[in-house]
């Protein structure tokens, strides 16, 4: 995704965006009144308060629709549903009210009922809402609607209804606090002090609904100095230091000075932490010093190590706390490539040398080409971690560099049987052909059709036809969740049948059928890519590999950051590209169209290639993390070996993203029946033209199937 400075991207809308994380309590089914109206009272819309429903993303999705058009004579139910849905999105009550009764026998009618009940939930009779929720337990909208309704009951002080219909656990703090209020109002407070303390002792501000509960807790003497200090500690760990200013009021007078000290040190990024060498050794001073060293290590590991040596003898932290401090300093030293890293790593107790620390121990030694130390660090990893293709490759590479040729070649030959980034690099070192062993998808039409008849899949497919992608994906994910391997294969087949490639990709990833290449690496958009790639002198297989990495070939993909479409183009980037290249840009919805998205995405790739000397490694990294970040990495992490540069990048996402793009590019070369470029030919040293091949192997290779089975 172009131009971003964060490390985590969610490519597609997820069910938790709609607050559908929990199931409805079966108690909702009791006390239902027979003959409840399906439509209820007159429709009432209140679009100015959508945040109260907890469905913000849903509203944003609705807002992308255009205003509903007039109904055409002979409109199908699907068309009428789409018009009613758009009417709800724009608050067009008359259109919604007119269309809704005509769709009572339609598959998606409950979605209109959901919209109706959601907007007027404050006035819906309890029995009507409970009946609707109970009848639609496995529908995607139910948990979010239940949560919104229960919150509304609490807001309206309807304590009896709240206790009757709320489940035992909803994983929703606001509802939990309303339930606590209800128990207080009804005098049912046995065991409530402990529950309220659990709600209070968190590292963030809680919803306003919790305030009456916390006042009650204070009056009951439930907020002790110890509990307040624990919450201060958690607030600092959650990076909510200003909350500690409020919490200090609950401390004993002699303890408030420690809260103030901590806050002031945090504001100065713990650069003055050495002063703690004069503090008394007690619980609060130990907490501040230990946390301060860990925070300081993130920004300045050298200063953190120096400070640790100056104050360690002052505090009796105990083995666990001290081990955690040493691990954190060593980890950030390795990540920054600090000269003192070996000493700091060796100081970490063996029990605190976890997988993440060992990985960065390897990377530190890779950066410095300390090959013998690379072997030692990998050998120290747990067996499961050590057997990953990443570390098998670097172990073999290190043995090659240290002269253990026979053992290295044996390890590389085994790895070269795998169709992934490290397998392709291993094949390049041995000048072997690439191994790709495809399997033909083995699913009958009968299996796919049987799945299509299941209600959840019917809803998902119909919602997709109606142009409601977010809820469509939510229904699909619920429907596939209980499937076994054969069921997931059938789901993949149904996805392909319905031209929904990303759902097939996800299903096969979960089923483990990674050799079903025809479905995992679809060619639907290859013609559009070829047109734009030819126009801009781009490698079409590389564009396809990048696009597959960005969106899993979902034309309507929308990330949590707002990146859109197949190549995950940000609207801001699109506006800039339109200005620079004289493109016609009509707004972010244009980016959901394959042709436009690929035009903008490939133009951006061309601009990046011009900036980074046609180096696909750097451009792939810049597309993911942003060009300015890559500029900094090139300056800070100087190495002649691009594979080492990639492996030692500090952003875990980009560190995995570049290898994924390059491996997918190789597979798309094969899928497009192009000459298959060796992966190493795409990875020249950064100060050489992109025609160089650092492995010394031929620039292209054959594809064979040498793997067993």
Tens-place pLDDT, residues 552-581: 999 999 999 999 999 999 999 999 999 999
Q: Give the CATH number of the domain where residue 162 resides.
A: 1.25.20.10
Tens-place pLDDT, residues 27-39: 333 333 333 333 3
Residues 80 and 183 in one domain: yes
- Under the banding of pLDDT at 50, 70 and 90, the label for residue 47 is very low
d(CA 486, CA 511) in angstroms, rounded, equals 8
Whether 694 and 680 have beta carbons less than 8 Å apart is answered as yes
SS3 track for 601-638:
HHHHHHHHHHHCCCCHHHHHHHHHHCHHHHHHHHHHCC
- Give me the chain's average pLDDT, please: 89
pLDDT at 697: 54
Quote the tokens at residue 542: 């590389």
pLDDT at 71: 59
pLDDT at 584: 95
CA distances from 502 to 284, 454, 469 (A): 52, 20, 12
- Under the banding of pLDDT at 50, 70 and 90, the label for residue 93 is confident
pLDDT at 9: 32
Q: Which of 190, 217, 250 is the last residue of a domain?
A: 190
Within a domain: 301: no
pLDDT at 27: 35
Under DSSP, is residue 701 helix (H, G, I), strand (E, B) or coil? strand
Residues 592 and 697 in one domain: yes
- Under the banding of pLDDT at 50, 70 and 90, the label for residue 41 is very low
- Under the banding of pLDDT at 50, 70 and 90, the label for residue 10 is very low
Give residues with Cβ within 8 angstroms of 147, minimum separation 6.
19, 22, 54, 170, 172, 175
Residues 171 and 81 in one domain: yes
- Under the banding of pLDDT at 50, 70 and 90, the label for residue 675 is very high
Within a domain: 691: yes
pLDDT at 24: 34
Long-range interactions of 441-446: CB distance < 8 A, separation 24+: 441/489, 441/492, 441/493, 441/496, 441/513, 441/516, 441/518, 441/519, 442/489, 443/489, 443/490, 443/492, 443/493
Whether 664 and 549 have beta carbons less than 8 Å apart is answered as yes
Q: Give the DSSP H or E segment for 448.
A: helix 445-452
Residues 24 and 144 in one domain: yes
- Under the banding of pLDDT at 50, 70 and 90, the label for residue 698 is low
pLDDT at 171: 87
Within a domain: 100: yes
Give the residue, 638 or 217, on which the prediction is more confident: 217
d(CA 405, CA 651) in angstroms, rounded, equals 33
Within a domain: 532: yes
Q: What is the DSSP string of 222-279?
A: ---HHHHHHHHHHHHHTT-HHHHHHHGGGS-HHHHHHHHHHHHHHHTTTTTGGGGGGS
Give residues with Cβ within 8 angstroms of 324, minimum separation 6.
290, 294, 352
d(CA 223, CA 414) in angstroms, rounded, equals 61
Within a domain: 84: yes
Q: Does the pLDDT at position 647 exceed 50?
A: yes
Give residues with Cβ within 8 angstroms of 383, minimum separation 6.
none
Quote the tokens at residue 96: 């919604």
Q: Give the CATH number of the domain where residue 616 resides.
A: 1.10.530.10
Within a domain: 36: yes
Q: Give the DSSP H or E segment for 529.
A: helix 526-536
pLDDT at 639: 87
Residues 537 and 507 in one domain: no
Whether 329 and 344 have beta carbons less than 8 Å apart is answered as yes
Under DSSP, is residue 361 helix (H, G, I), strand (E, B) or coil? helix
Instruction: Encode 673-698: b = buried (16+ Cβ within 10 Å), e = exposed.
Output: eeebbbbbbbbbebeeebeebbbebe
pLDDT at 91: 87
Which pTM was predicted? 0.86
d(CA 365, CA 372) in angstroms, rounded, equals 9
Tens-place pLDDT, residues 225-261: 999 999 999 999 999 999 999 999 999 999 999 999 9
From 370, 375, 336, select the one nearest 358 (Cα to Cα).
Answer: 375
Site of tokens 């060293």: 293
Residues 585 and 682 in one domain: yes
Torsion angle of the four alpha carbons 179, 182, 184, 185, in this order, in degrees rounded to the nearest 10:
170
Average pLDDT over residues 173-177: 97
Q: What angle do CA 588, 594, 596 make, to 5 degrees?
A: 55
Residues 551 and 659 in one domain: yes
Within a domain: 391: no
Q: Does the pLDDT at position 15 exceed 50?
A: no
Q: Does the pLDDT at position 141 exceed 70?
A: yes
Residues 165 and 96 in one domain: yes
Range of the domain at 173: 15-190
Give the residue, 686 or 337, on which the prediction is more confident: 337
Give residues with Cβ within 8 angstroms of 198, minimum separation 6.
none
Q: Does the pLDDT at position 17 exceed 90?
A: no
- Under the banding of pLDDT at 50, 70 and 90, the label for residue 638 is confident
- The percentage of the chain sitting over the pLDDT mark of 90, rounded to a whole number, equals 84
- The percentage of the chain sitting over the pLDDT mark of 70, rounded to a whole number, equals 87
pLDDT at 74: 61
Q: Which of 163, 190, 217 is the last residue of a domain?
A: 190
**What DSSP state is assigned to residue 130?**
H
Q: Give the CATH number of the domain where residue 465 resides.
A: 1.10.1240.20
Residues 623 and 502 in one domain: no
Residues 459 and 535 in one domain: no
Q: Which of 150, 169, 190 is the last residue of a domain?
A: 190
Q: Does the pLDDT at position 26 exceed 70?
A: no
Within a domain: 559: yes
Tens-place pLDDT, residues 279-301: 999 999 999 999 999 999 999 99
d(CA 128, CA 34) in angstroms, rounded, equals 10
Tens-place pLDDT, residues 199-211: 999 999 999 999 9
Number of domains in the chain: 3
From 368, 424, 365, select the one nearest 393 (Cα to Cα).
Answer: 424
d(CA 148, CA 175) in angstroms, rounded, equals 9
Residues 542 and 676 in one domain: yes
Whether 130 and 31 have beta carbons less than 8 Å apart is answered as yes
Residues 25 and 98 in one domain: yes
Instruction: Encode 563-579: b = buried (16+ Cβ within 10 Å), e = exposed.
Output: bbbbbbbbbebbebbbe
d(CA 583, CA 35) in angstroms, rounded, equals 58
């Amino acid at each position: 995704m172009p131009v971003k400075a964060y490390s985590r991207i969610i490519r597609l809308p997820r069910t938790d965006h709609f607050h559908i994380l929990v199931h409805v309590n079966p108690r909702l089914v009791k006390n239902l009144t027979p003959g409840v109206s399906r439509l209820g009272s007159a429709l009432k819309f209140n679009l100015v308060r959508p945040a109260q429903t907890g469905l913000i993303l849903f509203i944003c999705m609705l807002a992308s629709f255009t205003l509903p058009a007039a109904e055409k004579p002979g409109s199908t139910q699907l068309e009428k549903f789409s018009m009613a849905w758009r009417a709800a999105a724009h608050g067009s009550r008359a259109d919604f009210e007119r269309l809704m009764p005509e769709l009572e026998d339609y598959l998606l009618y409950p979605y209109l009922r959901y919209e109706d009940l959601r907007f007027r939930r404050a006035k819906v009779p309890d029995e009507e809402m409970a009946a609707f929720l109970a009848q639609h337990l496995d529908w995607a909208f139910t948990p979010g609607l239940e949560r919104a309704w229960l919150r509304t009951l609490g807001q309206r002080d309807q304590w009896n209804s709240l206790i009757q219909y709320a489940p035992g656990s909803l994983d929703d703090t606001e509802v939990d606090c309303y339930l606590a209020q209800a128990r207080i109002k009804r005098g049912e407070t046995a065991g409530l002090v402990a529950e309220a303390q659990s709600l209070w002792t968190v590292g963030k501000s809680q919803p306003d609904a919790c305030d009456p509960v916390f006042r009650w807790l204070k009056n009951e003497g439930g907020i002790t100095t110890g509990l307040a200090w624990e919450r201060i500690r958690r607030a600092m760990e959650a990076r909510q230091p200003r909350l500690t200013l409020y919490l200090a009021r609950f401390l004993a007078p002699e303890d408030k000075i420690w809260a103030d000290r901590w806050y002031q040190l945090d504001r100065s990024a713990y650069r003055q932490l050495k002063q703690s060498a004069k503090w008394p050794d007690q619980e609060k001073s130990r907490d501040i010093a230990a946390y301060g060293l860990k925070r300081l290590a993130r920004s300045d590991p050298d200063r953190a190590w120096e400070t640790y040596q100056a104050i360690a003898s002052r505090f009796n932290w105990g083995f666990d706390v001290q081990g955690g401090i040493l691990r954190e300093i060593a980890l950030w030293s390795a990540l920054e490539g600090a000269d003192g890293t070996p000493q700091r790593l060796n100081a970490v107790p063996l029990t605190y040398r976890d997988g993440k620390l060992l990985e960065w121990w390897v990377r530190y030694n890779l950066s410095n080409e300390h090959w013998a130390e690379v072997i030692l660090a990998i050998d120290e990893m747990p067996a499961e971690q050590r057997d990953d293709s990443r570390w098998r490759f670097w172990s073999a590479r290190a043995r090659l560099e240290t002269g253990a040729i026979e053992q290295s070649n044996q390890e590389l030959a085994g790895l070269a049987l795998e169709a992934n980034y490290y397998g392709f690099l291993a094949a390049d070192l041995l000048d072997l052909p690439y191994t790709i062993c495809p399997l033909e998808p083995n699913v009958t039409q009968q299996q796919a059709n049987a799945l299509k008849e299941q209600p959840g899949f019917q809803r998902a497919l119909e919602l997709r036809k109606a142009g409601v992608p977010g809820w469509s994906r939510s229904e699909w994910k619920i429907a596939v969740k209980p499937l076994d391997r054969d069921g997931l294969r059938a789901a993949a087949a149904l996805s392909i049948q319905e031209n929904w490639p990303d759902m097939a990709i996800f299903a096969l990833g979960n089923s483990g059928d990674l050799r079903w290449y025809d479905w995992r690496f679809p060619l639907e958009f290859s013609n559009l890519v070829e047109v734009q790639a030819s126009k801009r002198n781009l490698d079409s297989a590389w564009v396809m590999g990048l696009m597959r990495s960005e969106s899993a070939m979902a034309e309507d993909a929308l990330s949590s950051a707002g990146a859109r479409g197949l190549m995950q183009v940000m609207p801001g980037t699109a506006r800039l590209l339109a200005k620079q290249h004289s493109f016609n840009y009509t707004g972010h919805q244009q980016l959901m169209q394959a042709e436009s998205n690929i035009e903008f995405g490939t133009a951006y790739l061309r601009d990046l290639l011009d900036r980074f000397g046609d180096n696909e490694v750097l451009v792939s990294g810049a597309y993911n993390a942003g060009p300015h970040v890559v500029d900094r990495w090139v300056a800070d992490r100087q190495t002649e070996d691009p594979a080492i540069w990639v492996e030692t990048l500090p952003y875990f996402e980009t560190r995995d993203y570049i290898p994924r793009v390059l491996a997918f590019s190789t597979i798309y070369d094969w899928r497009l029946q192009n000459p298959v470029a060796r992966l190493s030919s795409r990875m020249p040293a950064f100060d050489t033209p992109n025609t160089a091949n650092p492995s010394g192997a031929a620039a292209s290779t054959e594809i064979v199937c040498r793997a067993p089975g």
